[in-house]
Chains A and B, each alone.
Chain A
Amino acid sequence: MANVSLQQIGKSYGGAVAVEAFNLEIRDGEFLVLLGPSGCGKSTTLRMIAGLESITRGDLLIGDARMNNVDPKNRGVAMVFQNYALYPHKTVAENMGMALKLQKMPKAEIEERIAGVADMLGLTAYLDRKPGSLSGGQRQRVAIGRAIVRTPEVFLFDEPLSNLDAKLRVKMRMELQELHDRLGVTSVYVTHDQVEAMTLADRIVIMDGGVIAQVGTPREVYDKPATEFVAGFIGSPAMNLMTMQSAADGSWRSNESQLVLPRLPGFDTKGANTIRVGIRPEHMTILDASAVGDDPWILPGKVMLAELLGADALLTLSVCGETMTARVNGVDYPEQGQQLAVRLNPEQLHAFDHDSKKALQV
């Protein structure tokens, strides 16, 4: 097991920059998730750690040794690929034992290790089969088993579950979690699925356009998004974001609608003329239309669209002319066209600088 240190790592393809000045210390035994939209450089970063992609700038250290120019096989890393990448012409056992065989480990020991891992993953019955005759979930298990057998210092995962159907994905996710608890191997996990990220990660790295937008625990990135991008990316449905101008009396007004918010408590808005104010759909309280009155945080609204998701319902509201989404209990919720009042809880508001997109200091 080892810590992994990425120091000012960068990758360019010709002139195009894929990853820029990536700085990160991954602790020994940590489960780190790289999360971000398609094309933001997650895979590239992971593959630089694996040695499948050369590093254009910066230093990569695994367990304090510089690895930039070390061959993939000598980095002590194992990788699980999205499409499994099993050798179709070799049996499950051969697939799992390939690395050990190439390391010239004695046959008996290889078999013993494979047997142990196969047992752990429930693959014992399939050891003599070829990957073609396995289901998707079984194949993914073999791919994971192949990584475990090598007892690597670091596990690398590139969207390992995205080829599985929804149910299987949840199951494999829990298995991965258990596995990590049991083995405690440093893991770097790439995904664009927030739920996977939130449930698996010790820390999440959110990337945007080749740079790190925020590093933090799942709690931190949800509660305290560092940038407007993170705020919009984490959470589903996405956070409501409104552009507001400061008024002379300290209140905030929207240019596009009649929305007016009082002085924002707890945010350092000094010198800011235009800001972006955000509130998550799940942080809006729906009240009776008559509740509008003294409390400046209670605003009148109208239901434009009501959609039942199951346990919850989503309301598309027009609040003072501003379109917002609210997430409410799915048992009893207002209908389309209904007038109502909405309370935005000031403790759960977010505010970002309009130009730098950074969160305003609390």
Chain B
Amino acid sequence: MNKRPRIILYSLVGLSVVISFFPIVWLVLTSLKNTAGIYSWPVQYWPDPLTFQNYWSIFTETPELLRYVLNSFIVGVGCTVLTLSVGGLAGYALSRLRMRFAGVLMVIILSVSMFPPIALLPALFQTFLNLGLLNSFTGLILAHTGLFLPYTVWMLASYFRTLPVEIEEAARLDGMGFLRIFFSIILPLSWPGFVATGLIVFIFSWNEFPLSLVLMTQDAMRTAPVGISLYPGEFAFPWETISTATVIAIIPVLVITAIFQKQILGGLTAGSGK
């Protein structure tokens, strides 16, 4: 390539990077301003003074915002573990055990994944109310697991299909049962697939909104996106607190994404192959 297209290419890349990052940058800058700096006109582009006061305040004055982040963690980890174990077994059976109707079952799983979450809300709320699962981690973990199982089963099944089937056959001749094959052969061989799927499911769960909103009605049980969105309540928006809480709530997903960008990218694009 000659010089001119190179320059155009880099300008376009630079532009995309800037557009992608500026809201996050602006968010962080806002969180580092004091209240006067936030509500000032003309707008302060650079915090003056630059202060961590808002972060300090969150820890001392509004610890409930941290509680939301903790809740998101509990739900995210629980949902990821449950989804991977339940969905892993199903993905294995559907891709490798030559089950009758495996194709039909896969299509059913794909179809139910298109159900809009809002359509689940009335009945799920009622059922969870009756079962005493409202405002419980168990309940929301179960709900998220249901929501993200279809994706998990499809991802893992397509991953298992890339493993040579002979290894499993050798294991059967060696005397392993299917459960043992799954745990001591499939699992160690496909951990990259599990890692990618698990990270994505964790992010899905962290970001999930409608079910988390409806199934956790007590303030102390809310997840981060819901809790922070509802925090302002009826009154004016305390942007210094909201921006700071938002930074704290998005750090986990952004850090995970930054560290595991290759795995996540692979996981997101693999699913679209079919």
Q: Do A and B have CB atoms closer than 8 angstroms in the complex?
A: yes
Q: Are B172 and A73 in contact (CB under 8 A)?
A: yes
A184 within 8 A of partner (CB):
no
Which residue in chain B gives the minimum CB-CB distance to A84? B166
Taking CB atoms and an 8 Å cut-off, the chain A residues in 36-90 that contact chain B are 50-52, 71-73, 77-79, 81-89
Stretch at the interface among B49-57, B173-181, B262-270: B173-181
Across the interface, which residues of B come within 8 angstroms of A89, CB to CB?
188-189
Which residue in chain B gives the minimum CB-CB distance to A52? B169
Q: Are A73 and B189 in contact (CB under 8 A)?
A: no
Given known pairs A83-B166, A85-B164, A85-B167, the reply for A73 and B173 (CB within 8 Å) is yes
For B166, B171, B172, B188, the residue with the greatest tally of chain A CB atoms inside 10 Å of its CB is B166
* Distance between A146 CB and nearest chain B CB, rounded to angstroms: 8
Across the interface, which residues of B come within 8 angstroms of A77, CB to CB?
173
A102 within 8 A of partner (CB):
yes
Which residue in chain B gives the minimum CB-CB distance to A73? B175
* Distance between B160 CB and nearest chain A CB, rounded to angstroms: 15
Q: Are A85 and B189 in contact (CB under 8 A)?
A: no
Given known pairs A52-B169, A79-B169, A81-B170, the reply for A88 and B189 (CB within 8 Å) is yes
Given known pairs A87-B185, A88-B189, A89-B188, the reply for A79 and B164 (CB within 8 Å) is no
Contact with A along B163-202 (1 / 0, CB 8 A): 0101101111111100000000100110000000000000
Q: Give the number of residue pairs across the A-B interface with Cβ within 8 Å.
A: 54
Q: Are A85 and B175 in contact (CB under 8 A)?
A: no
Give A89 to B163 CA distance when docked, in angstroms: 13
Across the interface, which residues of B come within 8 angstroms of A51, CB to CB?
172-173
Across the interface, which residues of B come within 8 angstroms of A71, CB to CB?
172
Which residue in chain A gives the minimum CB-CB distance to B174? A99
Number of interface residues of B (CB under 8 A): 14
Which residue in chain B gives the minimum CB-CB distance to A82? B166
Give A318 to B90 CA distance when docked, in angstroms: 64
Given known pairs A85-B164, A89-B188, the reply for A73 and B174 (CB within 8 Å) is yes
Q: Are A50 and B167 in contact (CB under 8 A)?
A: no
Give A79 to B165 CA distance when docked, in angstroms: 14
Q: Are A81 and B174 in contact (CB under 8 A)?
A: no
Across the interface, which residues of A come within 8 angstroms of B164, CB to CB?
83, 85
Across the interface, which residues of A come within 8 angstroms of B167, CB to CB?
85-88
A98 within 8 A of partner (CB):
yes
Q: Are B166 and A85 in contact (CB under 8 A)?
A: yes
A103 within 8 A of partner (CB):
yes
Give A81 to B172 CA distance when docked, in angstroms: 13
Q: Are A85 and B174 in contact (CB under 8 A)?
A: no
Partner pick for B172 among A52, A82, A83, A87, CB 8 A cutoff: A52
Taking CB atoms and an 8 Å cut-off, the chain B residues in 143-172 that contact chain A are 164, 166-167, 169-172
Q: Are B189 and A72 in contact (CB under 8 A)?
A: no
Given known pairs A81-B169, A85-B169, A85-B170, the reply for A103 and B188 (CB within 8 Å) is no
SS class, residues of chain B in contact with chain A: helix
* Distance between A144 CB and nearest chain B CB, rounded to angstroms: 12
Give A134 to B268 CA distance when docked, in angstroms: 34
Give A83 to B185 CA distance when docked, in angstroms: 16
Q: Are A78 and B189 in contact (CB under 8 A)?
A: no
Give A98 to B166 CA distance when docked, in angstroms: 15
Which residue in chain B gives the minimum CB-CB distance to A102? B175
Give A99 to B175 CA distance when docked, in angstroms: 6
* Distance between B182 CB and nearest chain A CB, rounded to angstroms: 14
Across the interface, which residues of A come within 8 angstroms of B175, CB to CB?
73, 99, 102-103
Across the interface, which residues of B come within 8 angstroms of A72, CB to CB?
169, 172-173
Q: Are A79 and B170 in contact (CB under 8 A)?
A: yes
* Distance between A47 CB and nearest chain B CB, rounded to angstroms: 8
Across the interface, which residues of B come within 8 angstroms of A84, CB to CB?
166
Q: Are A81 and B189 in contact (CB under 8 A)?
A: no
* Distance between A163 CB and nearest chain B CB, rounded to angstroms: 12
Across the interface, which residues of A come within 8 angstroms of B173, CB to CB?
50-52, 72-73, 77-79, 99
Which residue in chain A gives the minimum CB-CB distance to B180? A102
Give A81 to B168 CA distance when docked, in angstroms: 11
Q: Are A98 and B169 in contact (CB under 8 A)?
A: no
Give A33 to B39 CA distance when docked, in angstroms: 86
Across the interface, which residues of B come within 8 angstroms of A50, CB to CB?
169, 173
Give A103 to B173 CA distance when docked, in angstroms: 12
Give A88 to B166 CA distance when docked, in angstroms: 12
Across the interface, which residues of B come within 8 angstroms of A88, CB to CB?
167, 189
* Distance between A97 CB and nearest chain B CB, rounded to angstroms: 10
Across the interface, which residues of B come within 8 angstroms of A73, CB to CB?
172-176
Give A238 to B189 CA distance when docked, in angstroms: 45
Give A98 to B188 CA distance when docked, in angstroms: 16
* Distance between A209 CB and nearest chain B CB, rounded to angstroms: 23
Across the interface, which residues of A come within 8 angstroms of B166, CB to CB?
81-85
Give A78 to B164 CA distance when docked, in angstroms: 18
Across the interface, which residues of A come within 8 angstroms of B188, CB to CB?
89
Q: Are B172 and A98 in contact (CB under 8 A)?
A: no
Give A43 to B188 CA distance when docked, in angstroms: 28
Give A145 to B185 CA distance when docked, in angstroms: 20
Across the interface, which residues of B come within 8 angstroms of A103, CB to CB?
175
Q: Which 3 A-B residue pairs are closest in the complex by CB-CB distance?
A: A73-B175, A85-B166, A102-B175
29 contacts between A and B (CB under 8 A): A50-B169, A50-B173, A51-B173, A52-B172, A52-B173, A71-B172, A73-B172, A73-B173, A73-B175, A78-B173, A79-B173, A81-B170, A83-B164, A84-B166, A85-B170, A86-B170, A87-B170, A87-B171, A88-B167, A88-B189, A89-B188, A89-B189, A98-B171, A98-B174, A99-B174, A99-B175, A102-B176, A146-B170, A146-B174
Contacts from B to A (Cβ < 8 Å): 164, 166-167, 169-176, 185, 188-189
Not counting A50-B173, A51-B172, a sample of 6 additional A-B residue pairs whose C-beta atoms are within 8 angstroms of each other reads A72-B172, A81-B170, A84-B166, A87-B170, A98-B171, A102-B176
